Amino acid sequence: MVVDKIAVLLAVIGALNWGGIGLFGFDTVAFLFGGQLSVFSRLIYTLVGLAGLWCLTLLFRLDRETAAHPA
């Protein structure tokens, strides 16, 4: 499903951004989009957060699919 792939991509982008903050103290999203409080940065942060929530649904769907079709 296309939405699933977009959600995973955004979640990975968010994870890499958090890794950059943790390791180097550098927020790539804020750098690229004009600071943490800019409208664009906040939009990206919101989309990444929503993508993370969507990815949680993937975990439960994968469990159901695996249970329905054991290897």
pLDDT grade for 67, boundaries at 50, 70 and 90: low
pLDDT for the residue 38: 95
Helix (H, G, I), strand (E, B) or coil at 9: helix
Global model pTM greater than 0.85: no
The C-alpha atoms of residue 10 and residue 55 are separated, in whole angstroms, by 10
30's tokens: 């804020």
Q: Specify the pLDDT at position 59.
A: 86
Write the pLDDT tens digit of every residue in 21-61: 999 999 999 999 999 999 999 999 999 999 999 999 998 88
- pLDDT at site 20: 96
Q: Which residue has the tokens 């906040």?
A: 42
Q: Which residues contact 55 (CB under 8 A, 6 or more apart)?
A: 7, 8, 11
- Check if the beta carbon of residue 51 is closer than 8 Å to that of residue 6: yes
In the chain, where are the structural domains located? 2-66
Find the distance separating the first CA and the last CA of the chain, reported in whole Å. Answer: 22
